[in-house]
Structure 1
């Protein structure tokens, strides 16, 4: 009995050690299973997005560990959380997970039918165009996503949409009614930047819907350039220095008569 008990304890300890090593991923998978079941019961898109934003911090330590290890390998938790971070507006996390997935060739969930690069750019651009992403986030996170996916296999329409979204973000414009933006408030330099993105969108997808924007921005940029040119020329012309008063000699004091 003593030998049997000792053997049982050794086997149990070994099994416990293996279980401890797998606990982190097992718990993460159980968490994912639970959250997917909860999300399936929510029919409202806004309710699902709010739920994802609420629960993502629970899994963040696991995700940070994966990112830090940078080991790669197909990971269902990373796949789903990349999408959920995009849906929840957790842009920094979404960008980190998306870049990790691209770097290691991790597949996204089958139901989305897009690779990581396309999914990240598509969902970020959609959020920007629908007003769910702030101008600052567009200039930083969406622009970085576009840069990070330069060499990725992606439809031209997705890149075009991202360029359009970046240009619109500069003017505070969205595709929603009542948010036409204000191209006129932009400086000449910002107008030139916006025009570049709009033209790239048009080149990538002639149906991007930016033709009128290009015409409007080009007209404003031409006007700004025409106004600035004479001022710059006048400032650079020799002889146009501001007139200076001639130096006057100090008055001499008269000696008093004696």
Structure 2
């Protein structure tokens, strides 16, 4: 036979469970509640096919995550956080490289890894590839590309393990941006490094043309 104390504990547990079933998020932590929101937003995004449309929706969603990300980064505890890491990726997807790097510095400092669902679990690998790709898309669309985030990405990922092709992609776009702004010597250095890392990265003709320009510049400066 159950004691009165045991019966009381069982009744309290039953009442607690019934309340939880009626309002499952009532006792959830702040992180759990944010994960529920994130998963709902991801389900919404899965229904959209176009990348530009997805990026537009992410831009609308991102402000809702700003307070959480700021709170996590200000606390400085460095625990793995799927919300923060997903926001970093979404910022890259929407062209906010500077905002993504702000999170990346924190993530790399504390050894955070890429969120679930990304084939590249190495954060430096993911960061270098995504930043380079975002910059290349903007450059191809003839948009202005700020070189500072590219150089910051190169610095943050220096010495980290990743495929040579990915690092070559980063050097390639840096070379293009330097070249377009008249920095021929810096451009040559990065394009040559890209070629050294990946001989099929598509910069051979660029290097040849740049060498011709530099030769003319040297002759005119005499």
Classify the TM-score, shorter chain.
0.7 to 0.9
2:135/2:145 contact within 8 Å kept: no
Q: How does 1:202-241 map to 2 (within 5 A)?
A: 202-229=195-222
Answering whether residue 59 of structure 2 is matched by residue 66 of structure 1, we say no
8 Å CA contact 2:195–2:201 kept in 1: the answer is yes
Q: 1:229-249, CA deviations, whole angstroms, 9 ceiling, x for partnerless residues?
A: 2xxxxxxxxxxxxxxxxxxxx
Distance 1:204 1:57, change over 3 A: same
Q: Quote the residue 1:181 is aligned against.
A: none
Deviates more, 1:112-121 or 1:207-216: 112-121
1:53 aligned partner: 59
**Correspondence for 2:190 among 177, 192, 197:** 197
Correspondence for 2:148: 140
Q: Is the 8 A contact 2:138 2:145 kept in 1?
A: no
Alignment of 1:4-83 (within 5 A): 23-83=29-89
Gaps of 5+ in 2: 1-7, 17-24
Q: Which residue of 2 aligns with 1:125?
A: 132
Q: Please, what TM-score do these two structures have when normalized by structure 2?
A: 0.81
Supply the distance in 2 between the matched residues of 1:215 and 1:154 (Cα, whole angstroms): 28
**Given that residues 53 and 90 in structure 1 are in contact (C-alpha distance below 8 angstroms), is that contact kept between their aligned partners in structure 2?**
no
Cα deviation, 1:199-222, whole Å, max 9, x if unaligned, reads 111111111111111111011011
Question: Within 1, Cα distance between the matches of 2:66 and 2:125?
Answer: 23
Consecutive aligned runs of 4 or more in structure 1 exceeding 4 Å deviation = 19-23
Check whether the contact 1:24–1:62 (CA below 8 A) recurs between aligned residues.
Answer: no
**Structure number, greater radius of gyration:** 1
Q: Does 1:170 align with 2:178?
A: yes
Distance 1:213 1:43 in 2: 35
Distance 1:143 1:192 in 2: 16
TM-score (norm 1): 0.70
Paired residues, number? 198
**In 2, Cα distance between the equivalents of 1:31 and 1:214?**
48
How big is the alpha-carbon RMSD for the aligned residues of Structure 1 and Structure 2? 2.3
Identify which range, 143-152 or 104-113, moves more after superposition. Answer: 104-113
Name the residue aligned to 2:165.
Answer: 157
For residue 171 of structure 1, report the CA deviation from its aligned partner: 4.2
- Report the equivalent of 2:98: 92
